[in-house]
Amino acid sequence: MATTAAAYQASEGGPLDVDRAFYDRLAGTVDGRERTASFTIPIRSGRAWEVPAGHLCRLLTVDGPQVGDLNVWNRHDPRERLWAARTRQLQRAHVSTYDRLWSTLPFLRPLLTVTGDTLAGYGTDADGGRVHDLLGTRCDPYVNRMLTGEDFDFHCHSNLVRAVLPYGLTEFDVHDVLNVFQCTGLNAADQYFMKACPARPGDHLEFFAEQDLLCALSTCPGGDLSVPLWGPDARDPVDVCHPIGVEVYRVDEELLRGWSEPRRAEYRNLHGVRLPAWGS
């Protein structure tokens, strides 16, 4: 089947042209990294943590398949955060190695670059499903109430809200997510679907922080999404829920030679607006 060209094309040496050799060098190093943080996020909960610029961060399935909902902000200015829609356009709707997560306007620069993905070989399955989803967003108690008439306080949105409170952020700062380890797609009716997570214990998604980051992750209450959350066959899927591990690594300075933090977008105009000047 013919493939229509992507709307946003990378030119050699341009902002969408990733230096793969650099990220391969980071991903392949064992002696050149030092673990600075390691923790496990229990089922149906959330946690926020910092990843300094130039560090690596690994998200991994601990003892079984589990979907995680990831938010990312600039640690020093939470107005700069993941822009899921533009990332879908500049990269793709399901990310993997060498893809970047881009930030909101007026910043428009990479927050992170994926350096390792043990599920990269999953590709596209018979239903059109792919892994590490930017198509959908987090589950939330508002939609759940609308669909079921019941309240549930441990949806990903609520888990993320509680996770970022110690950093001075609120519900208004929680945003559209990267659904890590989640397998999704669009069906023949162009409707969003979710499939059982294909991850096995020890699978991971690893990324390089292009700037100082605040990250937050929720272990989805749907677990591996093998059980319907809504509809006639829905039931509590707590038995298919598992924790997700997080590891942060400092990288040897020599490996970072030639790298620098990305600059914010160069556009500095006033969108065509001319401000009045006194005496004019």
* Segment 117-146 mean pLDDT: 97
The predicted pLDDT at position 262 comes to 96
Alpha-carbon gap, residue 65 to 113, rounded angstroms: 23
* Segment 192-219 mean pLDDT: 98
* Segment 104-118 mean pLDDT: 98
In the chain, % of residues over pLDDT 70? 99
pLDDT band, residue 140 (cuts 50/70/90)? very high
User: Which pLDDT tens digit goes with each residue over 239-270?
Assistant: 999 999 999 999 999 999 999 999 999 998 89
Instruction: Indicate if the pLDDT at residue 229 is higher than 90.
Output: no
3 state DSSP class of 26:
helix
3 state DSSP class of 181:
strand
154 phi, psi to nearest 5 deg: -120, 25
For the chain, the average pLDDT equals 96
Alpha-carbon gap, residue 229 to 177, rounded angstroms: 18
Q: pTM of the predicted model, to two decimals?
A: 0.96
Cα angle 260, 118, 222; round to 5? 105
Count of domains observed in the chain = 1
Long-range Cβ contacts of 97-100 (<8 Å, 24+ apart): 97/23, 97/27, 98/18, 98/20, 98/23, 100/18, 100/210
Domain enclosing residue 192, as ranges: 37-253
Residue 158 in domain: yes
pLDDT band, residue 230 (cuts 50/70/90)? confident
The predicted pLDDT at position 15 comes to 85
Residue 203 in domain: yes
Alpha-carbon gap, residue 110 to 91, rounded angstroms: 11
* Segment 85-114 mean pLDDT: 98
3 state DSSP class of 64:
coil
Strand-strand pairing, 130-133 and 178-186 = antiparallel
Residue 258 in domain: no
Residue 47 in domain: yes
Residue (of 231, 269, 245) closest to 62 by Cα position: 245
The predicted pLDDT at position 136 comes to 96
pLDDT band, residue 47 (cuts 50/70/90)? very high
Instruction: Indicate if the pLDDT at residue 14 is higher than 90.
Output: no
Residue 183 in domain: yes
Residue 3 in domain: no
Q: In which residue are the tokens 């793969």 written? A: 20
* Segment 73-84 mean pLDDT: 98
* 132 in Cβ contact with 207 (< 8 Å): no
Alpha-carbon gap, residue 130 to 93, rounded angstroms: 9
**From the centroid of its chain, how far is CA 225?**
18
Residue 8 in domain: no
* Segment 130-141 mean pLDDT: 97
Distances in whole angstroms, Cα of residue 89 to Cα of each of 27, 29, 108, 126, 267: 25, 31, 13, 24, 19
Instruction: Indicate if the pLDDT at residue 68 is higher than 90.
Output: yes
Instruction: Indicate if the pLDDT at residue 1 is higher than 60.
Output: no
Residue 145 in domain: yes
pLDDT band, residue 2 (cuts 50/70/90)? low
